[in-house]
Amino acid sequence: MHWLLAIAGFLAAGAESAAPPAWHQDWNGVRQAAATVKTIETSFVQTRTLKILRKPLVSRGVMAYRRPNDLRWEYQSPLETLLVVRGGSVRRLIKHGGAWVPDASAKLEAMKIVLGEIGLWLDGNFTASKTFRPELRPADKGQPAHVDLLPVDPSLGKVISRIAILFGERPGTVDAIDIFEEGEGVTHIAFENPRYGQAIPDERFEPPR
């Protein structure tokens, strides 16, 4: 659930002209906006708040995405872990003794399922998901326009009650993701200093040697 990534944004109008309909007003607009994002490189801060903890758990890392389905999600602190996806191949590694060690645990199969969902979101194709029911939400009371993702399977709903993907200020982008855990807490992922449209070398989507 920590490799969530989604696609959305905001289109501003000229000061002297009437504002056009927001591109995220319907799912067709969302898909068209998603297609404009070819690459993304950004840092992120992940804050997990739990009722049983006095202080939130904070992790930092970087993310890179290249259309159609190349992804690098790297936690740099407090623990170093890495997920790389390229050409349908998924690799997860953990930093151990100064070297990257492949993670061959059963978690990898679950990650493949999650990554399949993320692929739909990056394409703006939320409605094709069989795991979450998406709902478009307009900006309201200081909260930006966003997509709410509600679990279809009641058993998943016992773990994740809702995921909110908050739109950014540029078409095809997202500012933050909130993952609400049923009765437990919230994981907030905020993206910082994003760069769009820059060429990303193949090596960024390969496991380190």
The CATH number of whichever domain residue 70 belongs to comes to 2.50.20.10
User: 48 in a domain, yes or no?
Assistant: yes
Burial class (CB in 10 A: 0-12, 13-18, 19+), 177: buried
Domain enclosing residue 44, as ranges: 30-194
pLDDT at residue 110, as a whole number: 62
User: 91 in a domain, yes or no?
Assistant: yes
**Helix, coil or strand: residue 204:** helix
Characterise 28 by phi-psi region: left (phi > 0), alpha (psi -120 to 50), beta (else): alpha
pLDDT at residue 50, as a whole number: 87
pLDDT at residue 45, as a whole number: 96
pLDDT at residue 6, as a whole number: 31
Rounded average pLDDT per 10-residue block, the chain, 209 residues:
33 35 78 88 93 90 91 92 86 88 68 72 83 89 87 87 86 86 86 93 89
Characterise 197 by phi-psi region: left (phi > 0), alpha (psi -120 to 50), beta (else): left
Read off the pTM: 0.81
**Helix, coil or strand: residue 119:** helix
Tally of structural domains, the chain:
1
**Nearby residues of 101 by Cβ (< 8 Å), 6 or more positions away:** 93, 94, 95
User: 13 in a domain, yes or no?
Assistant: no
**Helix, coil or strand: residue 140:** strand
User: 207 in a domain, yes or no?
Assistant: no
User: 97 in a domain, yes or no?
Assistant: yes
User: 9 in a domain, yes or no?
Assistant: no
User: 67 in a domain, yes or no?
Assistant: yes
User: 99 in a domain, yes or no?
Assistant: yes
pLDDT at residue 1, as a whole number: 43
